[in-house]
Structures are given as C-alpha cells and as structure tokens.
Structure 1
Amino acid sequence: MSTVRHLNVFGDEVGAISPAVGIAQFLVWLQGKRGRSGRITSPQTVRAYTSALPTAFAGIGVLDELDDTVGRERVRLNVRTAWAGGAPSTFNARRAAVASALAYFEDQGWIDDADAVLTGLDREPQPKPDGLRVRPREQIDALIGDRRHRLEDRTLWAMLYATAARAEEVLQLDIADLDRPNRRARVIRKGGKADELMYDIRTARLLGQLLAGRRSGPVFLSVRVVRDGTVDTRDIDPATGRRRMGYRTVERRLDAASGGWDPHDLRHSRLTHAGEDGATEADLMLLSGHEDRRTLQRYLHPTKDGAHRRLDDIDARRGAFTPSADDLADRIDRAAQRQARTQLPADTRPLPDVAVYDQLLTRSRDSGHTDPGRGQEQGPVS
C-alpha cells in the first residue's frame, strides 16, 4: 500500500510527533473520511474515538516509541486494562479505534509497523446473536412500567425499544430534535445518515413527564453536574448544568434493573417482535435504519411464543368460518319454511282431540271458569 502523506498542520517534524498531536491530526482526517457508503464518518464514531485514543496511548512520550518493544507493550497493557474486562463488543470496538489510528500513523511515516503494535492483542470472540437476546414482551413492559426505576431510565428504555435504535443514536438526541406531535425524532444514524426515529404513544407520554418545562439541551441527562468548562456546552442542560447521559451509565443501569440485559437487546427484541406481528421487511428497515437486507436478517429470530401466538390467530380465523352467499341463501330458505309452519292462520290449525276437549270443558264448568276452547266468560251452570 502506498504511503499517503498529509499536511502536518501542527508543524511537528516527522519522528518527533507526540501522541496528542498525532491523535489530533488523525481525528481531523477521520471527521472528513468517507466510508464505502459514500457518507462521512458519523459524529458518534468521532466522539467514541476521541474518548478511547488518549486512554490507549497514555504513557507514550513520542510515537517513535511504538517502534520498540517497551512502547508497544505499554499500548497493549493500556488497552487490556481499560477494556478487557468489559463486553467483547466494547473491547473489539476500542481495539478497532486504536488499530485505525495506528494505520494512519504508519501512513504518515510516524511509525514503521502498525500491525506489530497490537500483535498478541487479538479481537475477543463475540457470541453470535441468538434467540436469547429477544426478551419477552411482558418482561419489557414490566421493566418500563416499574416506577421503582428512575423516570429518565424508563423513558430511555421505552424509546430504545419503540424505535429499535442504537443506544448511541438515542443518547445524542436533543430536545430540538423531537417532533413530538408526530412522534418522530431527527437523528444521525451509524455511518452518518440523517434519519427519523419513530416512537410509540407510551414513549410520548413518558417524554412528556420527563421533559416537563425543558425546551433545550439533551433529552437524556446524567446526574453529574458540570460547570467547569470541561464538557461541550451542547452536551449540557443549560438550566441544571447536568451533562448528557453516557452509554456506560445506560449499560450499567439496565444491567442492574433487568438482571443482565444489554441496551442492544431492546433493539433486537423490537425488530423480532415487529416481524412476528407481520411487519414487512421494508417496515423493519425503515424502523431500524438498515440499508442491507442481509444485515437485517440477523435480528429476525422467531421465538416459540411468537410462533404460538401466530398459530393461535390462524386457528381462530379458521374457526370463525364465514359462509358463502349460496350457503346463506339456503339457510334463509330453511328459516322461512320453519316460520311458515309455526305461523299458520287460526282456522287452519288442527283441532284438539274431542275427548280431551270434553274433559277440559267439564273441569272448567265445575270450577266456574271460562270455556277453554272459546276464550269467553261463561255464567255459572244451574
């Protein structure tokens, strides 16, 4: 691969580049980089790299140190210490950020071998998504409706499930991004695509309670108050000084409240449940933001409960048979015939047996009652 030389806007000479300067130039380049889709790197990705890289290169004086054993081992130790104890997906994402920066450093001629820095620090195996990530609807509803949890958390969980969005996308929402009358939210998807999230009535009600009189700032806030200028003002609520909620906070609180769920489980569950309820592939792609049908397929794992519910619906429809017009005409004819037999004129009705009638007449006279056959008053018999 040919070396791509970029203008060193910081004026440092090659071979004496500090990690801070190298990372800063890399982030400028990353911010304008276009991926295979043709879109520039999303702000969420740039923000994640900005957070991870200083941790990975802590203790490195100049980038030349990455060409010797001590410097390389220092970076590996930093990465292991910071992220090896977390989820495999988190570790792999942070490792990928470091690898991307190292490749850029090599392209600039600042280090000799980017791959050698992370030798022995392999990606951690990630379990393939399976049906276990699809949480039962009843459990999700119970979690969101449990008032023992903070309103902020319940609203976030409701929105994550309703929109099937990634947690990073929802956490970047500002109040100005919400179209509350139409239950939509403007967002930048992974990959930099502008899109709209669609949420349900339950989420809209919770948002109304959560936002109350707030008109600006992030939708979801942490409890931390920052007033020392160390956080971008766009990530701070101007009224309270509370900063935007972070992913790790979401991950920790959901895990504690649910007994082991991950924020991505809500996205996975929503797409599976919507598919079980009859949403089309196009519906699911609009909901999730996927552009590749193959990517969407890994979320569609029909569950036993969902299959059972659909089969019950099919059985119920089959049991509620709707007769044809010919069948109904035949039924109407038979009903008319029955009515004709029971509604004959009085003079055409068959007379009762004579012996039975005489017995009834004798009893009626003895008791002083009317003639049962005539229905008229009879005087006492002398």
Structure 2
Amino acid sequence: MGTDRHLTAVPDDGGAAAGEATSGVPTAEALASFLRHLAGRRGRSGRITSPETVRSYTSALPTAFAGIVHLGELAGGGRERLHTNIRTAWGSKAPATFNAKRAAVGSALAYFGAQGWLDDPAAVLAGLTREHQPKPDDTRVRDRARIDRLIADKRRPLDDRTLWSMLYATAARAEEVLRLNIEDLDRANRRARTIRKGGKADELLYDVRTARMLGQLLGRRTTGPIFLSARVAADDGTVLARDVDPASRRRRMTYRTAERHLDTATGGWDPHDLRHSRLTHAGEDGATEADLMNLSGHEDRRTLQRYLKPSKEGTHRRLDDLDNQRRNWTPTADELDARMTGRGND
C-alpha cells in the first residue's frame, strides 16, 4: 500500500463567522486518508480489516461529516453540525446501530488527532453519549420442537425451509449462508466454504437433515447461488453474474427477504434467533467451547458465554429427567440382600 501524501492545513480566508475557525485539513482528504489507513490496519487477531468494515465506514463517515469542509471547523460550529448529522441519520435506529456509527466517527477523529490535524479529538464527541444497549434477550433461544416443526412445515417454500435448516444446523450468520454458491458445498462431508465476519475463510458444518433438503432444493443445478429469491434479474448487467442462477435467472436471496419470510412464518423471529438457539442447544447438550467456536466462527471465548447459559427449555428438560430418574429408582443388590436377610430392619 502506498504512503499518504502530507496533508497541509488550509489558511484562514477571513470569511468565517466570528469565533469560528475555518483553517484545517480538508475533511474529504482527511477521511480518505483515514479509510486508506483503516483498510490496511491489522487488528488484534493479526488480520487486516475486513472489506465489510471498510464499506461500513465508507458509507457512514461522509454522512456524519456532511457540511464540514475543513477539520478546523470542529473546534466551533462544525462540532454541533457533526452531532446533528449523527442524530439525524441514526438517532431513530437501534442503540447498537447508533453506537456503531458513533464509534466509527470516534475512530476517525482519533486518527485525525494522531496525525496532528485535530487538537482534542475526544472533545468533539463530548455531549453525544452512547445509547444504552439492553442485555441480550434470552427469549431469543427458541424451543427445539418448534424449530423442528418450522423446518418440516411443507406449507412453506422449500427454499425457505432449507435456509432455516442450514442457519440452525451451522449456527452461522445469515450473510455467511446467503452468500454460498453451489460450488462452495462439499456435499460428501456436509460442509460449505464461506467467508466469516472479519473476512476469514472457514467451513460451515451442517447436519443430515440439511443435506437431504439441499439435495431436494438443488436437483440438477451445479452452479450459482444456493438460495434464490422469486425475483428474476434483468439481462442488463445491473446484477452481478455471481448473484444470478444461470438457468432460471433468479437472483440471490437477500438478507431482507430472508428476514421477512422468517418473521412472517413465526410471528417475530429473525435469522439470528436460529444461530443463538443452535449454540445454546449445543452447549446444553455438552458441546465444549472449542466445539462451539468451530461451529460458530467465534475467535474469542468471551463472546460465547451467553450461549453457554442454559435456556428455560433446557433447564426444564433436565429437571424432568431428574424427576423421572427419582421415580424410577430401584434398590441395589446389597439393599435387596439386606431386606431378604432381615438386616434392613436393624
């Protein structure tokens, strides 16, 4: 990667309102420099920033810094403009979304400070506090029997049921499954090659039920996306060839479509519920942390802790097993011998 050219401050042209500086590095050039830095940066895992993260920052930062021509403006009215931009764009979104966009802006500001282009990066976001994020909802662990009924419900399209089966079996993120092509499948070993969050290549592991449903879904198809929407792509080059089934011209299913279909079928579930449920159920059944990491693609054990907490369903099932064992208690040979010889009455 090439080095950035040195960015110089723009001198005050005397046209600013009283008390507001206009000098500073041009914001667009500073953002471009930060994004180049981000794209080549290695995280704690040693891997370069994923393309998904770079795209997310590339989308968010111009919105946040809109109307701020030079970084010097952030010492005055530009700071309030930045806050307003962030609140307007993401204030009505989920707390996690708002906090993620705010963090992206904070990372850019910290970079500007490290370059000497901004005197006090922390002060720029002062007053724009993080939104409270509620703790994960344990009700997202769905009942095993209901998941099985959902997947087996032949009133639902085979495309949807196969997707739900694979999402549950692999405990993968929906994006990791929806991007799969038929060529990515190792059907003999029930595995599928995908790209995890963060850009890591990995294999998804799926079960026999999913393998059978994939066989029914794919038929004689040998190339193209596995999961297709009902929409047919126009032959005008607006959709990438890799996202179109060459025979039917149907487009790859999008996350929004998958989310809507699951919500309609269940009255409120989303694709992550299947991932959450699978990991929790596997933990209840005795899977080790290493097993869960292999299954889910997590690289930090700390992120698995909420999946190792048993669900109400799991606790109830184990308590029923204990009750059944107690009701079915039988005496040992020594106890029977004591009864037969009368020693049990001493």
| TM-score above 0.5, yes or no | yes
Equivalent of residue 286 in structure 2, options 278, 290, 294: 278
Contact 1:226 1:243 in 2 (8 A): no
Specify the alignment match of 2:3 in structure 1: 7
> In structure 2, the residue corresponding to 1:181 is in which secondary structure?
coil
Per-residue CA deviation, residues 288-326 of structure 1 (Å, 9 max, x unaligned), is: 2233333211112213322232344455567386987xx
Specify the alignment match of 2:60 in structure 1: 52
- Counterpart residue identity of residue 137, structure 1: R
29-38 or 74-83, larger mean C-alpha shift: 74-83
Specify the alignment match of 2:26 in structure 1: 17
Shift of the 225–75 alpha-carbon distance from structure 1 to 2, 3 Å rule, reads farther
- Counterpart residue identity of residue 3, structure 2: L
Per-residue CA deviation, residues 35-68 of structure 1 (Å, 9 max, x unaligned), is: 11222223332343344334434x3363437525
Contact 1:226 1:236 in 2 (8 A): no
1:73-84 pair list within 5 angstroms: 73-84=80-91
Specify the alignment match of 1:304 in structure 2: 312
Equivalent of residue 159 in structure 1, options 158, 166, 170: 166
Specify the alignment match of 2:212 in structure 1: 205
Specify the alignment match of 2:297 in structure 1: 289
TM-score where L is the length of structure 1? 0.68
What's the offset of the Cα at 1:233?
Answer: 5.5
- Counterpart residue identity of residue 7, structure 1: T
> In structure 2, the residue corresponding to 1:298 is in which secondary structure?
helix
What's the offset of the Cα at 1:96?
Answer: 2.4
What's the offset of the Cα at 1:87?
Answer: 2.7
What's the offset of the Cα at 1:270?
Answer: 0.8
Shift of the 230–272 alpha-carbon distance from structure 1 to 2, 3 Å rule, reads same
Equivalent of residue 190 in structure 1, options 189, 197, 203: 197
Specify the alignment match of 1:264 in structure 2: 272
Equivalent of residue 168 in structure 1, options 154, 175, 187: 175
- Counterpart residue identity of residue 27, structure 1: L
Contact 1:217 1:238 in 2 (8 A): yes
Question: Does residue 64 in structure 1 map to residue 71 in structure 2?
Answer: yes
What's the offset of the Cα at 1:160?
Answer: 1.9
Task: Give the aligned length.
Answer: 321
> In structure 2, the residue corresponding to 1:197 is in which secondary structure?
strand
Question: 2:114 and 2:252 mapped to 1: Cα distance?
Answer: 35
1:73-152 pair list within 5 angstroms: 73-147=80-154, 149-152=156-159
Question: 2:235 and 2:78 mapped to 1: Cα distance?
Answer: 36
Per-residue CA deviation, residues 243-281 of structure 1 (Å, 9 max, x unaligned), is: 654444444443444333333222211111112223233
Contact 2:68 2:78 in 1 (8 A): no
What's the offset of the Cα at 1:198?
Answer: 0.8
Shift of the 49–315 alpha-carbon distance from structure 1 to 2, 3 Å rule, reads same
Question: 1:313 and 1:128 mapped to 2: Cα distance?
Answer: 30
Question: 2:114 and 2:282 mapped to 1: Cα distance?
Answer: 46
- Counterpart residue identity of residue 45, structure 1: T
Shift of the 277–38 alpha-carbon distance from structure 1 to 2, 3 Å rule, reads same
Question: 1:159 and 1:190 mapped to 2: Cα distance?
Answer: 17
Contact 1:66 1:117 in 2 (8 A): no
Question: 2:323 and 2:246 mapped to 1: Cα distance?
Answer: 57
> In structure 2, the residue corresponding to 1:141 is in which secondary structure?
helix
Shift of the 253–93 alpha-carbon distance from structure 1 to 2, 3 Å rule, reads farther
Specify the alignment match of 1:335 in structure 2: none
Per-residue CA deviation, residues 202-250 of structure 1 (Å, 9 max, x unaligned), is: 3223333444444444444554847666666555555666665444444
Specify the alignment match of 2:42 in structure 1: 34
TM-score where L is the length of structure 2? 0.74
Question: 2:239 and 2:32 mapped to 1: Cα distance?
Answer: 17
Specify the alignment match of 1:364 in structure 2: none
Which consecutive unaligned segments of at least 5 residues does structure 2 have? 11-24, 337-346
Give identity over the alignment, percent. 66
RMSD between aligned residues: 3.8
Which consecutive unaligned segments of at least 5 residues does structure 1 have? 1-5, 328-382
